Amino acid sequence: MKFLNKKNIFNLILILSIYFIVEFLINRGIIDSYIILNIVVIGVNIILAVSLNLITGITGQFSLGHAAFMSIGAYASAIMTAKLGQPFIVGIIAAALSASLAGIIIGIPTLRLKGDYLAIATLGFGEIIKIIGLNNDYIGGATGLNDIPQYTNWTWIYFCVVITIIIINNFIKSYNGRACISIREDEIASETMGVNTTYYKILVFTMGAFFAGIAGALYANYFYFIRPDSFGFMKSIDILVIVVFGGIGSVLGSVVGAVMLSIISVFLQNIPELRMVVYSVILFLIMVYRPQGLIGKNNLRLFKKRGVLNGCAHSK
Amino acid sequence: MDVLTVNNLCKSFGGVKAISNISMSIEEGEIVGVIGPNGAGKTTFFNLLTGIYSPSSGDITYNFKKEISSRDFKPFKMPKYGVSRTFQNIRLFKNMSVLDNILIGYHCNLNYGILPSLFRLPSFYRNEEEAYEKAVELLKIFNIYDKKDELAKNLPYGEQRKVEIARALAAKPKVLLLDEPAAGMNTNETKELTKLINWIKDEFSLTIILIEHDMSLVMEICNKIFVFDYGTLIADGTPQEIQTNPQVIKAYLGGE
């Protein structure tokens, strides 16, 4: 079996050992609940950034509505777990499915738009979702939804993050992912080469929404409480900032970006009055000195031998 | 056997008739040249042949194993039918490696689906490896194998042209449309290209339709030439006939 090659076994061992080490530290009380809180925030941001990167970085479709998919997922999971008393896995699945359904519904009409127009349309979609949330009494309206059971823990967040990264990475490094990159590079040429661009754009939008929905579920089931305002326009911008900061089109970049920006925010909490100033200056400096982002476009090139295509199919 | 028939083809953009009333038929295994002054409608004609535009009236029929008429044309379906093309202003995927560019050309021959790629099922490895071997084969034919990991935008112009032709060939076409393949090449490169086109025609048993301004290339390799002017077909025939055709001389040189 090619699946069980050296690299994959090594990765599997790495993934599991990180999990057990952290789990052990949590049990021993070395990692306290404050750190876990930050780990959850980082994990949610990683999922959001990686999935937005698939849409914006890889396929080149500029979307400003990612927080809306997250909010659909958050509410879906909250309703399932808090109102209907279902287990968390049902909540996550419902979140992912309802968000991806929204992705399809929104994707079909808007993805014929390009660039700025698509950005505006997705922005509008985000606002619509927010307004619906504000005006629906079943989900609490503007006051939000309370008493959501706290199911998200290290195990859930860690494996959701790992699965997201693996699946999206696998997608990118297949003929599907190549097709998506070719859409970003030159839509007309890619269509003439046999890539069904409409299909791929909707597919990618749906996949992105799917994972954003999972992120929303993890978020909702950690913080007890959600309200429509938490998933507004600014949240979408935050996700986009992570993607750009880490490097557009790089999965590793999104992961690093999410971790770095979350850690920076944590440290800046000590100086509340200068927090946003320092944060902005850091972003500014990164964009001036590394416009391609921290990692740049070369996807996971750090860990790759030169000359091996995508490091996947041909590694013997 | 006719591989392509065009019947009374018209295309207008608003009030401008870019193509009017063109009829032609092209036989299998031919190299056909389409020439004409700038703005004569040659590229529009190519865009019609590849489904980027749809005809205002008239129709185009490809006659492969089954007939495909212009009503079923969609740009992304054309490679699957067996029609592949290059562009006048090179449209490579600039930030992808040369190898990946070729692999995109191979895209229409891959359909192992989404799930095998997400979960790395065996069919993923089988198909990707096959695609990789085919791409390497093409790169070696075009003598650019050592540049396979280079980004396409970093190649010199002549090699970008080669990559584009290789990418079109990766789709395993039966009809290959080349839009000004020799544009921007010097005499030596053009000679090399002439040989190459002849060679790939036999090697891949293709029918080639090419737009070209370089008359030495056109006259040397084309079996048949179609001359366009102001969207109409003013002459067709063998290179010798075209060279002495008074209407063609008038279109190119002007005057009475």
What is the per-residue pLDDT across A126-167, written as a single tens digit (0 to 9) for each?
999 999 999 988 888 888 888 888 998 999 999 999 999 999
How far apart are the C-alpha atoms of B103 and B90, rounded to whole Å?
A: 17
**Residue percentage of chain A with pLDDT more than 70:** 92
What is the CATH number for A261? Answer: 1.10.3470
CA distance A89 to chain B (A): 20
CB atoms within 10 A of CB A24: 11
* Contact of A243 with A53, CB cutoff 8 Å: yes
Give me the domain span that covers residue A4: 1-31
Taking the Cβ of residue A153 and every Cβ of chain B, the question of whether any pair is shorter than 8 Å is answered with no
Phi/psi-derived region of residue A313, left when phi > 0, alpha when psi is between -120 and 50, beta in every other case: alpha
- What angle in degrees, to the nearest 10, is found between the helix axes of A197-220 and A33-52? 170
Residue B220 or A312, more confident: B220
A50 domain-assigned: yes
Exposed (0-12), middle (13-18) or buried (19+): which is B75, by Cβ within 10 Å? buried
- Among chain A residues, the shortest Cα distance to B131 is held by A175
Judgement on whether residues A303 and A266 belong to the same structural domain of the protein: yes
A137 domain-assigned: yes
Exposed (0-12), middle (13-18) or buried (19+): which is B12, by Cβ within 10 Å? middle
* Contact of A299 with A248, CB cutoff 8 Å: no
Assigned token pair, A149? 């059971």
pLDDT value of position A297: 62
Interface residue of A165, A171, A175 to substitute, partner B, most B CBs within 10 Å: A175
- List of long-range contacts for A168-172, beta carbons under 8 Å, 24+ apart: A168/A50, A168/A51, A168/A53, A168/A54, A168/A207, A168/A211, A168/A251, A169/A251, A169/A300, A170/A312, A170/B117, A170/B118, A170/B119, A170/B120, A171/A54, A171/A207, A171/B114, A171/B117, A171/B118, A172/A54, A172/A58, A172/A251, A172/A299
How far apart are the C-alpha atoms of B113 and B121, rounded to whole Å?
A: 10
Judgement on whether residues A99 and A6 belong to the same structural domain of the protein: no
pLDDT exceeds cutoff 70 at A1: no
pLDDT value of position A191: 92
Sign of the Cα torsion A309, A310, A311, A312 reads: negative
Residue B68's φ and ψ, nearest 5 degrees, are -125, 120
Taking the Cβ of residue B89 and every Cβ of chain A, the question of whether any pair is shorter than 8 Å is answered with no
Average pLDDT value for chain A: 88
CA distance B135 to chain A (A): 11
pLDDT exceeds cutoff 60 at A302: no
Domain boundaries, chain B: 1-82+173-256, 93-172
Judgement on whether residues A169 and A278 belong to the same structural domain of the protein: yes
Say what the pTM is.
0.89
Judgement on whether residues A235 and A271 belong to the same structural domain of the protein: yes
Low-confidence ranges of chain B (pLDDT < 50): none
A316 domain-assigned: no
What is the per-residue pLDDT across A71-102, written as a single tens digit (0 to 9) for each?
999 999 999 999 999 999 999 999 999 999 99
* Three-state DSSP class for residue B186: coil
pLDDT exceeds cutoff 80 at A309: no
Question: Are A194 and B91 in contact (CB < 8 Å)?
Answer: no
Taking the Cβ of residue B230 and every Cβ of chain A, the question of whether any pair is shorter than 8 Å is answered with no
A6 domain-assigned: yes
CA distance A117 to chain B (A): 23
| Domains of chain A: total | 2
Judgement on whether residues A110 and A8 belong to the same structural domain of the protein: no
For A79, which DSSP code? I
Nearest to A193 among B94, B107, B118 (CB): B107
What is the per-residue pLDDT across B86-133, written as a single tens digit (0 to 9) for each?
998 899 999 999 999 999 999 988 888 888 888 888 889 999 999 999
How far apart are the C-alpha atoms of A172 and A204, rounded to whole Å?
A: 10
Nearest to B128 among A167, A179, A313 (CB): A313
| Rounded average pLDDT over A109-114 | 86
Instruction: Read off the pLDDT band of A313 (50, 70, 90).
Output: very low
pLDDT value of position B130: 92
Judgement on whether residues A21 and A67 belong to the same structural domain of the protein: no
pLDDT value of position A58: 93
pLDDT exceeds cutoff 80 at A28: yes
pLDDT value of position A66: 94
**Torsion angle in degrees (nearest 10) through CA of A109, A110, A111, A113:** 120
Residue B254 or A195, more confident: A195
Beta bridge partners of B228: B233
| Rounded average pLDDT over A169-174 | 93
Question: Are B122 and A191 in contact (CB < 8 Å)?
Answer: no
The 3-class secondary structure across B17-78, one letter per residue, is EEEEEEEEEEECCCEEEEECCCCCCHHHHHHHHCCCCCCCEEEEEEECCCEEEHHHCCHHHH
Question: Are A179 and B131 in contact (CB < 8 Å)?
Answer: no
pLDDT value of position B113: 84
pLDDT value of position A21: 93
**Separation of CA B24 from chain center:** 17
Order of strands across the sheet that contains B232-237: B83-85, B175-179, B207-211, B31-35, B224-229, B232-237
Exposed (0-12), middle (13-18) or buried (19+): which is A224, by Cβ within 10 Å? middle
Question: Are B75 and A191 in contact (CB < 8 Å)?
Answer: yes
How far apart are the C-alpha atoms of A198 and B230, rounded to whole Å?
A: 34
A238 domain-assigned: yes
Chain A positions touching B50 (Cβ under 8 A) are 192
Q: What is the largest CA-CA distance in chain A?
A: 59
Judgement on whether residues A57 and A200 belong to the same structural domain of the protein: yes
Instruction: Read off the pLDDT band of A5 (50, 70, 90).
Output: confident
* Contact of A82 with A277, CB cutoff 8 Å: no
| Rounded average pLDDT over A212-227 | 93
| Total length of chain A | 316
Judgement on whether residues A169 and A287 belong to the same structural domain of the protein: yes
* Three-state DSSP class for residue A68: helix
Assigned token pair, A118? 């698509």
Question: Are B122 and A167 in contact (CB < 8 Å)?
Answer: no
| Element at B196 (helix H, strand E) | helix B187-203
CB atoms within 10 A of CB A234: 11
* Class for the domain spanning B1-82+173-256: alpha beta
Chain A positions touching B88 (Cβ under 8 A) are none
Assigned token pair, B194? 């002439």
- Among chain A residues, the shortest Cα distance to B79 is held by A194
pLDDT value of position A316: 30
CA distance A316 to chain B (A): 11
